[in-house]
């Protein structure tokens, strides 16, 4: 997207709020691959950033991957909030891997 390209071209710092917004933008546009790239390149991620990625994956048909990210989020010590849990519940309802759902 042109906005992300502009941010990169102008060397604008990709802080947590901006990173979350770009992840959210790509997810809502159906470009989950770009959302994942931005997410993985972020030097710092908070609960809102993780939630944006989990919800984005779920919206784009990646329920199983969303649950994997939720598990990773917990492993590294990021505490989920109520919005995260809503995203995880939706991911569970779209997930075909029942054992992953039981682990959540």
Structural domain includes residue 74: yes
H helices within 1-104, ranges in order?
2-9, 16-28, 32-41, 47-59, 63-75, 82-94, 98-103
Q: Say whether pLDDT at 98 is over 70.
A: no
Structural domain includes residue 83: yes
Structural domain includes residue 9: no
Structural domain includes residue 22: no
Structural domain includes residue 12: no
pLDDT digits (tens, 9 = 90+) for 21-42: 999 999 999 999 999 999 999 9
pLDDT at 5: 86
pLDDT digits (tens, 9 = 90+) for 47-91: 999 999 999 999 999 999 999 999 999 999 999 999 999 999 999
Show the domain range for 60. 36-104
pLDDT digits (tens, 9 = 90+) for 4-23: 888 888 988 899 999 999 99
Structural domain includes residue 14: no
Structural domain includes residue 2: no
Q: How many domains does the chain have?
A: 1
């Amino acid at each position: 997207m042109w906005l992300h390209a502009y941010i990169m071209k102008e060397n604008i710092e990709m802080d947590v709020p901006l990173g979350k917004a770009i992840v959210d933008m790509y997810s809502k546009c159906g470009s989950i691959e770009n959302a994942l790239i931005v997410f993985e390149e972020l030097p710092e991620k908070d609960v809102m950033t993780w939630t944006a990625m989990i919800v984005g994956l779920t919206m784009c048909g990646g329920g199983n991957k969303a649950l994997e990210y939720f598990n990773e989020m917990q492993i590294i010590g990021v505490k989920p909030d109520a919005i995260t849990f809503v995203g995880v519940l939706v991911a569970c309802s779209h997930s075909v891997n029942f054992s992953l759902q039981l682990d959540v």
